[in-house]
Amino acid sequence: MNRFEYVRPRSVAEAVAAAAVPGSAYLAAGTNLLDLMKIGVARPARLVDLNHLPGLDGIEHLPDGGAQIGARMRNADLAYDPAFRRRFPAVAEALLSGASAQLRNAATVGGNLLQRTRCAYFQDTASACNKRRPGSGCDARGGENRLHAVLGWSESCIATHPSDFCVPLVALGAVVEIEGPAGRREVPLRDFHLLPGATPERESVLAPGELVVALRLPAEAAGFAAHARYVKLRERTSYAFAVVSAAACLRLEEGRIVASRLALGGVAAKPWRAEAAEAALAGATPDAASFRRAAEIALAEARPSGDNAFKIELARRIAVRALLLAAAGTPDRLPALPASPFASVPGGFHG
């Protein structure tokens, strides 16, 4: 780990001023940042510690029915907030399917959004990586790339964004609230992460020194609470990143879908909202045939970036599974294995 200067601001204004110095990085729990510093991938000259700021660590259920979540709130605290769980069950399920209990107790909302890719070549300073060192090449292209992107990738980078949390959030239209040297602004989560294009080192719209202060879920997001699920396929049952995942949320009236939300995880450099698939579900009956059609549309543009063609069909199936589970209804209590696809589906569907 490189040496760094440590600063401990006591207010958001102090934090933003401290981070305006080039080479600075915000330290939240550090479960991603310290890890990357230990292996020499992140080398900040200055750590601006967010852990002693006042506030930004709770959730406010807004009068209009939405919710505002402080950027420093711990992943576990959010997942276990009873009102949050009741109103946004797919988000709670996604949170609880991520990492381990220890990591969720520490990890923050802001850190989860801004965690870096798990691409092995990005994490290995001896490999070529355009994201870590622009212009150096991409060793993932000819290497181990089973788990890399199938949507939105470019010739310069095929990495995925690893967050579970972000998948239902993007489906539900979350908004990121940002404080920076130039003042306050808001960015919808769907526009927050960037696809790689020719500049994979740019991963979000945050300008240097900008701080995520909160995340907002709009009131209408709670309207899906009765039919909202997250499904995550992993290479082992627990404590593993998604191979592919899907968040599905439905509003049903008289046996028809009146509104739907669908997003995919593990497939791209950002949480992938499937709006065309959502449009196709409007007015449809909530059955396997409709869902399969929607999944085909969601993955229509997908193409393998290496040895990962299998992920395209897998993503379709996980999307169908999430939609079927959502249609069956949000369970009163989250399953023992949150988001696991190895649970029986009402109606006996096993695709």
Partner 1 sequence: MSLSVTLTINRVPRTVQLDDPRVTLLDLLRERLDLTGTKKGCDRGQCGACTILVDGRRVNACLALAISHDGADILTVEGLSDGERLHPVQAAFIAHDAFQCGFCTPGQIMSAVGLIGEGQAGDDPERVREGMSGNLCRCGAYRGITEAVIEAARAMAETAREEAA
Ligand X SMILES: Cc1cc2nc3c(=O)[nH]c(=O)nc-3n(C[C@H](O)[C@H](O)[C@H](O)COP(=O)(O)OP(=O)(O)OC[C@H]3O[C@@H](n4cnc5c(N)ncnc54)[C@H](O)[C@@H]3O)c2cc1C
Residues near ligand X, by CB under 6 A: 25-33, 35, 50, 71, 98-99, 103, 106-108, 110-112, 114-115, 162-165, 211-212, 241
- Residue from 26, 84, 88, 122 binding ligand SF4 (CB under 6 A): 122
CB 111 → partner 1: shortest distance, Å?
Answer: 11
Q: How far is the CB of 188 from ligand X (least distance, A)?
A: 17
DSSP string, 281-341: HTT--SSHHHHHHHHHHHTTT---SSS-THHHHHHHHHHHHHHHHHHH---SS--SSTT-S
Residue 271 vs residues 160, 196, 340: alpha-carbon distances, Å: 9, 13, 19
Verify binding: residue 238, partner 1, rule CB under 8 A: yes
Which residues inside 72-111 make contact with partner 1, applying CB under 8 A? 76, 80, 99-103, 105-106
Q: Which of 69, 95, 140, 299 binds ligand SF4 (CB under 6 A)?
A: 140
What is the token pair recorded at 161?
Answer: 């964004």
CA 262 to chain centre: 13
Instruction: Please report whether residue 342 would count as binding partner 1 according to CB under 8 A.
Output: no
- From the list 49-57, 220-228, 256-264, 301-309, the region that binds partner 1 by CB under 8 A is 49-57
Q: Is 301 exposed, middle or buried (0-12, 13-18, 19+ CB in 10 A)?
A: exposed
The option from ligand X, partner 1, ligand SF4, none interacting with 140 (CB < 5 to 8 A, set by class) reads: ligand SF4
Task: Determine if 349 is a binding residue for partner 1 (CB under 8 A).
Answer: no
Residue with the closest Cβ to ligand X?
111
Long-range contacts of 287-294 (CB under 8 A, 24+ apart): 287/327, 288/320, 288/324, 288/349, 288/351, 290/257, 291/319, 291/320, 291/323, 291/324, 291/327, 292/316, 292/320, 294/260, 294/262, 294/319, 294/323
Which lies closer to ligand X via its Cβ, residue 74 or residue 85?
A: 74
* Contact flag: residue 56 with partner 1 (CB under 8 A): no
Q: Which is nearer to ligand X, 74 or 227 (CB)?
A: 74
Binding mask 184-223 for partner 1 (x = CB under 8 A): ----------------------------------------
Q: Work out whether 124 is an interface residue with partner 1 (CB under 8 A).
A: no
Closest CA to 23 of 38, 1, 43, 8: 43
Residues 6 or more apart whose CB falls under 8 angstroms from that of 246 comprise 167, 230, 231, 262, 263, 264, 265, 315, 318, 319, 321, 322, 323
Report the residue number, 237 or 344, with the smaller CB distance to partner 1: 237
Rounded to whole angstroms, the Cα distance separating 90 from 79 reads: 10
139 or 164, CB closer to ligand SF4?
A: 139
Cα 184–187–188 angle (5° rounding)?
A: 150
Helix (H, G, I), strand (E, B) or coil at 199: coil
130 binds, among ligand SF4, partner 1, ligand X, none (CB under 5 to 8 A by kind): ligand SF4
Contact in structure between 94 and 164 (CB atoms under 8 Å):
yes
User: How many residues at the interface with partner 1, by CB under 8 A?
Assistant: 34
Q: How far is the CB of 96 from partner 1 (least distance, A)?
A: 9
Judged by beta carbon, residue 328 or residue 337, the one nearer ligand X is 337
Binding residues for partner 1, per CB under 8 A?
1, 3-8, 27, 29-31, 34-35, 38-39, 47, 49, 51-52, 76, 80, 99-103, 105-106, 237-239, 336-338
